[in-house]
Amino acid sequence: TTTNKQLLDQQEKRESNARSYPRRIPLAIKEAMGIHITDMEGRKYIDCLAGAGTLALGHNHPVVIQAIEEVLHDRLPLHTLDLTTHVKESFVDELFQSLPGGFKDRAKIQFCGPTGGDAIEAALKLAKTATGRQSILTFQGGYHGSTHGTMSISGNLSPKKSVQGLVPDTHFLPYPYDYRCPFGKGGEEGHQLSSTYIEQLLDDPESGILPPAAMIFETVQGEGGTIPAPIGWLKEMRRITEERGIPLIIDEVQTGIGRTGKMFSFEHADIIPDAFVLSKAIGGSLPLSVVIYDQDLDAWEPGAHIGTFRGNQMAMAAGTASLKYVKENRLDVHSEKMGAHLLQSLKDIQQDFPQLGDIRGRGLMIGAEIVDPSKQSTRQGSFPAYPELASRIQKECFNRGLILEVGGRHGAVVRFLPPLIITEEQLNEVITIFREAIQASLE
């Protein structure tokens, strides 16, 4: 039989040097079911990466498999560009029924190429077309994709340094990262200072910012280190953009479909953006992405955003089934409850391990920022990030059968993104392994 190592070695030899996930998570998958992955040698892992937050229902959920089988059985086209089928109609229906009140009757949908990045590109193009402007307001530490355009509006990623000629007129504003607040204070006061600063910048003719085509952010920065923006700050950004006629685009690629405890994360703040982007979980495990936007923004001519692989039938069928399941089983509420349990359990562990500098998140999007408490703390009272220790913890978790991702702008945030179906008992197993792994990584 083939071993993990044989497959890993072969792929390491032939794949590009940009390859990253398989290096940090060195296994070859034989099968996957629910929250578990089994490798070639029969070892079982709990998957708290879940396709970077894609697998809301875990691996191979029966309702998803059944929906895909129906497409195959009914001889529906496997590829049709975005031509009309009843599968597509059901998907749009199910999605529109999930929209909050303020959006339901005003929403338009654009199917995009299968990735989140493609839908972000579409949203930016739409805002530029609708406003006739070109500058984009984005945030430090944000992540929106790996294409030229999306990389341009993403934060300080090291891959950016090697790519010249990114999209100009992109302005990075301070995100309310409480633990390392750019204004020296976290909490209410810190985020007030952040929004006051942003407002002042937009109104100052000397700021060098041309009238913006859009403001874009994640309500919880994901790849940037699981940083939830305070609810009050989100409301402030809506007010500031609305008063100035700047379209607000919310990137719900990672936060959408129940992940943060609401169907869409902007619902926590009771705001309605002008546009938002969905991918990852919306395809029920398969590649799919869309932009949902207010009809007033629909300035596009026919053909303004095209692409071959948009609205794949199997992905739409899987997405409909998955969305239905999330709603019928109130996985949004479950996510909020499980997230609160995970957050509290990690805070309990923090009592014994000051290396867990900050525990934060919303719903089942939780992060633990790993720090070095033996070093001098900064003026905000936070300790320096400790990426080497975060990697060791990740490795010790892996050796004990738990897959977690490490991210964040300093590479020091251990990120928990389990499938939303995870039970309290399974979460307790995650927590036990995590505690043991920290202990082991300090020995």
Where does this chain bind ligand PMP (CB under 6 A)? 52, 115-117, 120, 143-145, 218, 222-223, 251, 253-254, 279
Quote the least distance from Cβ 157 to ligand PMP, whole Å. 12
Residues 402 and 49: beta-carbon distance below 8 Å = no
Which of residues 254 and 335 has its CB atom nearest to ligand PMP in the complex?
A: 254
Tokens of 191: 């985020």
| Alpha helix segments (H runs only) across 61-220 | 62-73, 86-98, 101-104, 116-131, 148-152, 187-203
SS3 320: helix
* Closest distance to ligand PMP from the beta carbon of 252 (Å): 8
Shortest Cβ distance from residue 20 to ligand PMP (Å)? 12
| Closer residue to ligand PMP (CB): 123 or 438 | 123
140 by Cβ neighbours in 10 Å (0-12 / 13-18 / 19+) ranks as middle
Phi, psi of 182 (to 5 degrees): -60, -15
**Token couple for 108:** 């338009």
Burial class (CB in 10 A: 0-12, 13-18, 19+), 92: middle
Residue (15 or 203) nearer to ligand PMP, CB = 15
CB of 14 to ligand PMP, least distance (A): 22
Residues 96, 279 contacting (CB under 8 angstroms): no
Q: In this complex, which beta carbon is closest to ligand PMP, that of residue 107 or of residue 124? A: 124
**The pair of three-digit structure tokens given for residue 235, joined into one six-digit string:** 């409301």
Q: Rounded to an integer, what distance in angstroms lies between the CA atom of residue 115 and that of residue 92?
A: 18
Nearest residue to ligand PMP on Cβ basis: 116
**DSSP track, 335-402:** HHHHHHHHHHHHHHHHHH-TTEEEEEEETTEEEEEEB-TTSPP-TTSPPPB-HHHHHHHHHHHHHTTE
Rounded to whole angstroms, the Cα distance separating 347 from 344 reads 5
| Non-local CB neighbours of 155 within 8 Å, separated by 6+ positions | 139, 140, 141, 142, 143, 172, 224, 409
Minimum separation from the CB atom of position 221 to ligand PMP (A)? 8
Q: How far is the CB of 419 from ligand PMP (least distance, A)?
A: 16
Least distance from ligand PMP to the Cβ atom of residue 329, Å: 24
In this complex, which beta carbon is closest to ligand PMP, that of residue 226 or of residue 441?
A: 226
Please name which of 295, 269, 297, 263 lies closest in space to residue 282, comparing C-alpha atoms: 263
Residue nearer to ligand PMP on the CB measure, 115 or 135:
115
Q: Which residue, 143 or 353, is less far from ligand PMP as judged by CB?
A: 143
Nearest partner of 285 among 142, 96, 421, 401, judged by Cα: 421
Least distance between ligand PMP and beta carbon 253 (Å): 4
The least CB distance from residue 436 to ligand PMP, in Å, is 28
Q: Which is nearer to ligand PMP, 90 or 147 (CB)?
A: 147
Nearer of residues 115 and 394 to ligand PMP, judged by Cβ: 115
